């Protein structure tokens, strides 16, 4: 980068001159040497890995040729260990799923969940209850559709999940907003609002009944989660 420097001539005149900074000698060559050393180090590592793999193959082939019975025994032992490990992992996963499913049957677990976790929890409940193509789509811009699915009878299900803290209730405004988007925008044939709390009595509840929107409160949801059978309104 050029820079300006002022100085005074012998005749007393003061002038300004432009200069260009000189690069320090050897900086570019030093960087090139460093890059070259790193590249050579990587290449050396690859060569050593290939040589090591080749040497291992040679040793294995030589051992199999000298000790065929021991080789067969070791192969069988390795296979047996792999089977035992796979069975153990599979059984542990089944146990964890059973524990998780048992935990999901308790409505109290939803009280400590976030809104997104509550949506995932309810999606698992739909799957257990025989619903198909269950999809969690809640988030910004979802327009009220947190979970969608296909009911056992083939109807398209659109769900809005309301995870409430203790003492809070789902008001009429939320019901009215969902009523305006469930069928017109999301083409829901079976629309429901699910909450781990309760709904306030008022115009929203009456509107839900008129528009055939199913409201699932804490009591209904608890019974659903425990039995795996949805409310009669969804049958």
Q: Can you give the pLDDT at residue 211?
A: 87
pLDDT given at position 134:
95
Ordered alpha helix ranges (H), the chain: 27-66, 68-104, 115-128, 172-179, 203-210, 218-227
Cα distance between residue 24 and residue 208, in whole Å: 78
Q: Which residues contact 156 (CB under 8 A, 6 or more apart)?
A: 148, 149, 150, 187, 188, 189, 190
- A 10 A CB-CB count for 216 gives 23
Long-range pairs for 105-113: beta carbons < 8 A, 24 or more residues apart: 105/225, 105/226, 106/225, 107/196, 107/218, 107/221, 107/222, 107/225, 110/163, 110/196, 111/165, 111/166, 111/196, 113/163
Q: pLDDT tens, position by position, for the chain (235 residues)?
A: 555 566 566 666 665 655 555 555 455 556 566 666 666 667 778 888 888 888 888 888 888 888 888 877 777 878 888 887 777 777 766 655 555 555 566 888 998 899 999 999 999 999 999 999 999 987 666 677 899 999 999 999 999 999 988 778 898 888 888 988 888 888 899 999 999 999 988 888 888 888 889 999 999 999 999 888 888 767 6
CA-CA distance, 119 to 198, in Å (whole number)?
17
Q: State the pTM of this model.
A: 0.58
pLDDT, residue 120, reads 94
DSSP character for 228? S
């Amino acid at each position: 980068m050029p820079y300006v420097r002022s100085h005074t001539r012998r005749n007393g005149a003061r002038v300004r001159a432009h200069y260009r900074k000189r690069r320090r000698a050897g900086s570019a060559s030093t960087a090139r040497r460093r890059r070259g050393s790193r590249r050579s180090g990587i290449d050396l590592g690859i060569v050593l890995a290939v040589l090591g793999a080749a040497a291992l193959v040679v040793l294995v082939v030589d051992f199999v040729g000298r000790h065929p019975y021991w080789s067969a025994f070791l192969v069988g032992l390795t296979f047996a260990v792999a089977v035992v490990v796979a069975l153990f992992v599979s059984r542990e996963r089944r146990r964890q799923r059973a524990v998780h499913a048992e935990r999901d049957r308790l409505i109290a677990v939803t009280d400590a969940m976030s809104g997104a976790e509550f949506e995932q929890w309810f999606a698992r409940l739909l799957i257990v209850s025989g619903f198909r193509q269950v999809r969690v789509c809640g988030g910004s811009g979802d327009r009220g559709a947190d979970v969608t699915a296909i009911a056992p009878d083939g109807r398209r299900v659109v769900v809005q999940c309301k995870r409430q803290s203790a003492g809070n209730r789902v008001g009429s405004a939320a019901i009215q907003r969902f009523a305006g988007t469930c069928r017109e925008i999301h083409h829901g044939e079976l629309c429901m609002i699910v909450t781990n709390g309760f709904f306030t009595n008022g115009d929203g509840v009456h509107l839900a009944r008129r528009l055939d929107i199913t409201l699932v409160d804490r009591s209904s949801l608890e019974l659903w989660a425990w039995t795996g059978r949805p409310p009669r309104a969804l049958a």
